[in-house]
Structure 1
Amino acid sequence: MEEVTVRGVCPEDLERVTAVEAVCFPAAEAATRESFQERIAAFPEYFFVAEVQRGLIGFINGCVTNSPVIFDEMFHSTSYHIPNGENLTVFGLTVIPEYRKQGVAAQLMQHFIQTAKNTGKRKVILTCKERLVPYYESFGYAYDGISASTHGGAQWFDMTLVLKP
């Protein structure tokens, strides 16, 4: 496998991030170009991309909040980002299909968790589809049950990684 580099997002990544999202998520769940533009401006310190020599192949991003769970409005407005909040959210962990099952998503997630620790966050929270619950449990996330989120018309499951009590 090619060497993968994880780095902070930059505004020049906008088009590729949007394209990767469109490949990896159904249209109803995919974030828009405008949403990514706002996220890159609002919380670039919590937005990381994975790239290989030929370009960007995946990313992870999320805002900071005091909420114990992700709620749907967070996906649509950066106004819910509280820079000094306690919890880091995962809005999306995305890798293009040809690079899946090669450890790229794990590398992004480990970088994200380390960033949460380095910035003093108490928890990392996310929602995921049922089939991904065991994957996130492998990083230490605990299954919290069915989420109130109905983002994109899907059923989601809340998960929490406690970093410090």
Structure 2
Amino acid sequence: MRKEIYLFVDGKPQKTIIRNYTEADFEALIDVQRASFPPPFPEELWWNPQQLSEHVSRFPEGTLCAEVGGRMIGSMTGLIVDMNDYGHSHDWQTITDGGYIRNHNRNGDTLYVVDICVMPEYRKSGIGKWLMQTMYETVVFAGLSRLLGGGRMPGYSEHAHEVSPEVYLEKVLEGEWKDPVITFLLRCGRMPVGLAHNYLEDEQSQNCAVIMEWRNPFI
């Protein structure tokens, strides 16, 4: 998969390529993770070469990256699962095999988002939406029922002393509060279907995540 688009950065168009990443991109992908998820995000959750190798060998269609002028600026990774194998309650570690996706199941019906990240200076450019849109296209191309994934809620750390995660989500959905991740996912067309406690070690989110889906409109 490969497409060319224009992003607008500081009002100026920049030709951007979205494509599947390969082994040659591993070092650049890890650099993007390092810049995208600084402390207090756990360093051990950044990609390592072994995980990336599993991604490109097991489900290359689910490996997306974006580059401008040869510089990597973002990436997105997914795997296919059968949610009947996991039930209604799951965490990131279990459903992504700790990011190694060795549980990838081509007979499943759900494309599960393992990760999406964008370099900070490009977060207002729209590349996150383009990566998400491209993964939606992957869902349609593969004939899957939906895209699903857990969204961090980093804004919750400012309100954890006063409300529960569920109330925080309600206020974001009502437009009273904005969350950097959840609001972004809503703008991408993702719909909340649940809230998971102890989903991922994440101090800002108090380890919580909003489970959000996008349904294939052609099925």
Which aligned pairs between 1:16-165 and structure 2 lie closer than 5 A? 16-25=28-37, 26=41, 27-67=43-83, 71=91, 72-73=93-94, 74-76=96-98, 77-130=100-153, 131=179, 132-153=181-202, 154-164=207-217
Determine the structure 1 residue equivalent to 2:162: none
Is the CA contact 2:78–2:112 (under 8 Å) kept in the aligned structure 1? yes
CA RMSD, aligned part only?
A: 1.9
Determine the structure 2 residue equivalent to 1:9: 21
1:54 Cα shift? 3.5
- C-alpha distance in 2 between matches for 1:115 and 1:94: 18
Q: Which has the larger radius of gyration?
A: 2
- Percent sequence identity over aligned pairs: 21
- C-alpha distance in 2 between matches for 1:53 and 1:79: 33
- C-alpha distance in 1 between matches for 2:54 and 2:16: 26
SS for the counterpart of 2:72 is strand
Is the CA contact 2:54–2:102 (under 8 Å) kept in the aligned structure 1? no
- C-alpha distance in 2 between matches for 1:14 and 1:41: 13
Q: Could you list the runs of 5+ residues in structure 2 that have no partner in the other structure? A: 1-12, 154-178
1:144 Cα shift? 1.7
- Give the number of the structure with larger relative contact order, counting CA–CA contacts within 8 Å between residues 6 or more apart: 1
Q: What amino acid sits opposite 1:145 in the alignment? A: G
Is the CA contact 1:8–1:45 (under 8 Å) kept in the aligned structure 2? yes
SS for the counterpart of 1:108 is helix
Q: Could you list the runs of 5+ residues in structure 1 that have no partner in the other structure? A: none
More displaced stretch, 52-61 vs 146-155: 146-155
> Aligned pair in 2 of structure 1 residues 14, 35: CA closer, same or farther (>3 Å)?
same
Is the CA contact 2:97–2:103 (under 8 Å) kept in the aligned structure 1? no
Is the CA contact 2:65–2:72 (under 8 Å) kept in the aligned structure 1? yes
- C-alpha distance in 2 between matches for 1:124 and 1:97: 25
TM-score, normalising length: structure 2: 0.69
- C-alpha distance in 2 between matches for 1:3 and 1:59: 16
> Aligned pair in 2 of structure 1 residues 112, 53: CA closer, same or farther (>3 Å)?
same
